[in-house]
Amino acid sequence: MRRVFFLVVANAHLLDLAGPLQIITTLKELGIAKVPVECVGPRTTLRTFQKVMLSDIGALPPRLADGDVLFVIGSKLDETLMQSAPWAEAVAWLRSVRTSGSPALQLCGVCTGTFLLAQAGLLSGRVCTTHHRFVRKLRHWCPDAHVVDNRVLVRDRDVWTSAGVASGVDLALHVIAHAYGDDAAVQVARENVVHFRRFGSDPELNVPFRYRSHGNQLVHSVQDAIGKGLASNDGCEILAQRFGLSVRHLSRLFSAETGISIKRYQIEMRMELARRLLLDSGLTLENVVERCGFSSVQAFRANWNKREKLSPSRLRQEPDSHLLR
């Protein structure tokens, strides 16, 4: 991330703004990244829907640059707001941002912030979502978008959208994971005492998120150690020695807190890393296998074939199949 902006207009929902803003500013607090953060809008002051006044809102920057991230915050929608001059200014600015040099930036629509993106023409041809009460309205507003419901969040290339309210936290965590990796997102989530939620129709969450909803700090430390030592192939015995526990006690504790065994967690973490390396690097399959700690290519393929529909080579040829993962 180069810079992060939060676009705010009148009637904004406090949690739509405060949730992702808290998550993003934690990056600097934890020393992960010193990312400049600013709330911007067509007016320097505004009243939120919860009757709290916001002031010192920055002016809309004339342009955004490669690496910037823009969160478009949701508001309580009504005809007066959507026909107002500030709303029109925000829409015009969004259009200009996307067309001025086509910067490589991430656009994040929180809740009904998707309507600003839609009116600016930025959801055309995209898969997206919004608050469940406004799915039908968004489909009417943007018929050339594929608006899905019953989803916490959706990513389609460089455009992210979320269902609203607390899901803005999930969105911000996923954006951090995309920029800095899963470990960074896990640190931020733990600092804010939150974890990812998912609906039944959502795709599986990444492994580091899926088994981190517990509050046992010892087990979190064991998980951190596993994540940092995938290539070393350390087993339960070595982990138990490192943390001063018996193998039996560590195994029981880990399983009770996460719902899976240490061995299975290691395999899931290795598979997650393998997917990421196959999609994001030019490493050969043999190098991927070595980096992930599998004993052989055959052992890797045996685990891969149990979990994946596409072969490793097909996955590299069809990376869009994982866009909504």
CATH code: domain 4-202 is 3.40.50.880
Distinct helix (H) and strand (E) counts, the chain: 15, 10
Reduced to 3 states, what is the DSSP secondary structure of residue 6? strand
pLDDT of residue 201: 46
pLDDT of residue 316: 84
The mean per-residue pLDDT over the stretch 128-132 comes to: 94
| 62-75 confidence digits (pLDDT tens) | 999 999 999 999 99
Of residues 6 and 100, more confidently modeled: 6
Pairing of strands 37-40, 106-110: unpaired
Closest CA to 169 of 23, 9, 46: 23
State both tokens at 92.
């015009």
Reduced to 3 states, what is the DSSP secondary structure of residue 290? helix
| 143-173 confidence digits (pLDDT tens) | 999 999 888 889 998 999 999 778 999 999 9
The mean per-residue pLDDT over the stretch 179-200 comes to: 77
Q: Could you tell me which CATH class the domain 205-325 is placed in?
A: mainly alpha
pLDDT of residue 274: 92
Please give the order of strands across the beta sheet that includes 69-72. Answer: 37-40, 4-7, 69-72, 106-110, 159-162, 153-156
Closest CA to 59 of 84, 42, 36: 42
| 219-244 confidence digits (pLDDT tens) | 988 998 998 889 887 789 999 999 99
Q: Where in the chain is the domain with CATH 1.10.10.60?
A: 205-325
Beta partners for 135? none
